[in-house]
Amino acid sequence: MPFQTDAALRQLPALATLVTHGVRLPVVLPLIAACVFLVAFIPWAASRGKFHIPGYGGIAILGIVCGLLFGRLSGARRITGTIAGVSLAAMFFLLIAMAVGCLLALFSYRPPLEE
């Protein structure tokens, strides 16, 4: 049975959107780099004892709540596809990356040495 393109595109609307509209690489690549940097840098700073555990937990919760709010706003009917919508979507990804980094920081936290 040959692969049916129409049925596959109906089952995967996100793939259909990428195929028809393309990917904005000048927006996506720096966003990926910034998210990976945040997820790696925050636990690294925690391993050096730069903050405290309640701070990382609070930032993670705040990042998740604000990120989900920005993600919800970026999907609004009049905002989708505009500069504001792309900015809100970028903020969503950065805030979720920050929250993931803070959650990972809870596992790599090392208290500072007292002198």
pLDDT in tens, 27-68: 888 999 999 999 999 999 888 887 888 888 999 999 999 999
The residues near 40 (Cβ < 8 Å, ≥ 6 apart) are: 101
Do residues 9 and 19 lie in contact, with contact meaning Cβ atoms separated by under 8 Å? yes
At 36 the pLDDT is 94
101 or 48: whose pLDDT is higher? 101
88 or 1: whose pLDDT is higher? 88
- 3-state SS, residue 76: coil
Residue owning tokens 């809100």: 88
